[in-house]
Structure 1
Amino acid sequence: MKAIIMAAGVGKRLQSLNINKPKCLIAVGSTTLIRRSVNLLVSKGISDITVIVGFKGHLIRNELNNDVAYFENPDFHSTNS
C-alpha cells in the first residue's frame, strides 16, 4: 500500500506557533507531527510513503531523512499543498 503526505504549504494560519518552519515540524511532546504520521503509517504496514515538500522542504528532509520518498512542489505558494 502507498501513502502520500501533503506537506508543501506555508501554514499561514499557524505562523504564531511554528516560527519560520513548516507546521508539520511542530513537536507534540518530543515528536514532530510529520514523524508521528510516518510512524503511524509504518505501524499499519504502509512502507511506500511519499512526502510532497515545498516551503522549507529541506527541514522536512532533515527530519525524515531517507525514511520516505520526496516530491518537490515548486508551486506551493499558489497551491499551498
Structure 2
Amino acid sequence: MSAPSRSALAEVASDAVNTPASATLLKPFEVAGFWAAVALPFLYTPLVLAGPDTTAQQTALAAMVALHVVALVLGHRHNTS
C-alpha cells in the first residue's frame, strides 16, 4: 500500500512555512516594483519624445526616471510563476 499523495493545499502550506518571513513581507513590494517598472516607460516616453521645455517638465521627467530605477531594483527578483 502506498502513501497518499499530498494535496495542493498542503504543498502551498508547507512552502509558506518554509519561506522566510522577510521574503513574505517583501513580496508585495517586489510585485509592485515589477509592474511599476513595466508601466513607467509608457508614462515618460511621450515626455522624452516631445522634449521637456519647462523646469517643471524636466523635474517630472527626472523624477519618473529615478522612480523607474527604484522600481527596477525592487522588482528584479519578482518571479511570475
Q: What TM-score, normalized to structure 2?
A: 0.27
1 or 2, which has the higher strand percentage? 1
Q: Highest Rg: 1 or 2?
A: 2
